[in-house]
Structure 1
């Protein structure tokens, strides 16, 4: 293993987002790599419960969280292409660095952190572990690079500069708004079963109290969950400024059979009468 990094002071913080879950030792192994290479660097876990291979969900969770964190190196591993020819990169943002696979997972957070200022392909194995598994680049490539950057190694030293325009971007999520409502893709589903849509607050065309349907199920536009009765559907603006669908003390994801990548229709209720609540 490459020795501890000793250069100018870096952010001294690594944020860590993955789809690894916590049932195995994958997260701990990555923590251990950072601790051995950069003992003074803290690791702040954002989430390890991103659904497996859900690149867009991982991108959105970090993009919505990163602006509230101190300056950091953001280590992101949602990597269905691990071991293939997909490249690893460091994205230099206006406030911090992002390390992970070049599959689109990094760029939404980079934009939320002031925009992409540069990018480096991870082509120099000097900064990796001596042995690299074809199935665990999070431990063997990305975590070591993140540790060195957080300790002060400059991004230019860990690989070759690449044009930011060549970085992989996720396709724009589905979001269609017309006079009768909106049709939008699910970005995230939280542990409460609330379903976040690609539509933003300004695209919600109705005021609180309006009766609507979500996939033909009755719902009410609300400002918070308790504006509707327990067990009923609410359409509201969530803490990230997105339109979301929730069930008061229940799961909208279960009710609507909706998951990441699903597309939901929200329409004005034809009878215009709100559900009980």
Structure 2
């Protein structure tokens, strides 16, 4: 692979501590010409599904490069560190379900390796900070054009850990779908493709888990299609069904979080 000067970082490290800076520093020491894009470091701690969704929905819009993702509650256990090649770039991180959806968004995994080559890692690898000691140095070397095959032995892409598919169930009156993410604005993204909205009327009912009451909503294209303070069901920028409040927070109004089931029906 030719030299790729772009590296992206997606983590649950937050910004209170020096974890992100340490990863930046390792990259800068090895590949000082690399340009780093911080996707987010505010993934909820250990929320692999949210990290996977954010990564998959973002990488298609980034420059071709090396994408590092670290949401890794199993750090230090037998879970593998891996690097994946795709037609649209490279992905580096734990083999815990965090990377495959992003790999699919970049064209699918064409090759994969386990990160075991000591020369590619920190001299001392912390048991609890693989972002700094494993993933960042591997990403930097890949950004410099080092061959993926030198990072470790090959891995069968079919054996990569994948997250269970989110719940989506269609019926005669509408559909029930798992809350995939809640963004910083409180908008609720469902694991439901846009076409599930097509047969529904302009006025719908949105039902959170019991005992919370069902609420009236309207189908719209933008937030402003609903009156201020009212619910709108729309297709978001990832082409998924989402629920928002015009001027408010749908997640708070509905009392839902990632993993809950939400029903939308006419």
Q: TM-score, normalised by structure 1?
A: 0.92
Per-residue CA deviation, residues 39-88 of structure 1 (Å, 9 max, x unaligned), is 01111011111111111111111111111111010000010100101000
Given the alignment, which residue of 219, 222, 229 partners 2:220? 222
Once superposed, what is the RMSD of the aligned Cα atoms? 1.2
Matched, 1:26 2:19: yes
4+ long deviations beyond 3 Å: 205-208
State the SS of the aligned residue for 1:103: coil
* Residue 65 of structure 1: aligned partner: 58
* Residue 84 of structure 1: aligned partner: 77
**Unaligned ranges ≥5, structure 2:** 209-213
* Residue 131 of structure 1: aligned partner: 124
Deviation at 1:208, TM superposition (A): 6.7
Deviation at 1:213, TM superposition (A): 2.8
* Residues matched between the structures, number: 261
Q: 1-side partners of 2:54 and 2:72: how far apart?
A: 15
User: Contact 1:78 / 1:105 at 8 angstroms: preserved in 2?
Assistant: yes
Matched, 1:197 2:195: no
* Residue 259 of structure 1: aligned partner: 257
* Residue 246 of structure 1: aligned partner: 244
State the SS of the aligned residue for 2:154: strand
User: Contact 1:175 / 1:183 at 8 angstroms: preserved in 2?
Assistant: yes
Q: In structure 2, do the counterparts of structure 1 residues 31 and 82 end up closer, same or farther at CA, with 3 Å as the change threshold?
A: same
* Residue 273 of structure 1: aligned partner: none
Matched, 1:167 2:165: no
User: Contact 1:132 / 1:140 at 8 angstroms: preserved in 2?
Assistant: yes
Matched, 1:185 2:183: no
* Residue 36 of structure 1: aligned partner: 29
User: Contact 1:181 / 1:205 at 8 angstroms: preserved in 2?
Assistant: no
Q: 1-side partners of 2:224 and 2:173: how far apart?
A: 25
State the SS of the aligned residue for 1:160: coil
Matched, 1:121 2:114: yes
State the SS of the aligned residue for 1:139: helix
Q: TM-score, normalised by structure 2?
A: 0.95
User: Contact 2:115 / 2:151 at 8 angstroms: preserved in 1?
Assistant: yes
Deviation at 1:209, TM superposition (A): 2.6
Per-residue CA deviation, residues 228-253 of structure 1 (Å, 9 max, x unaligned), is 11111111100110000101111111
* Residue 4 of structure 1: aligned partner: none
* Residue 96 of structure 1: aligned partner: 89
Deviation at 1:210, TM superposition (A): 2.5
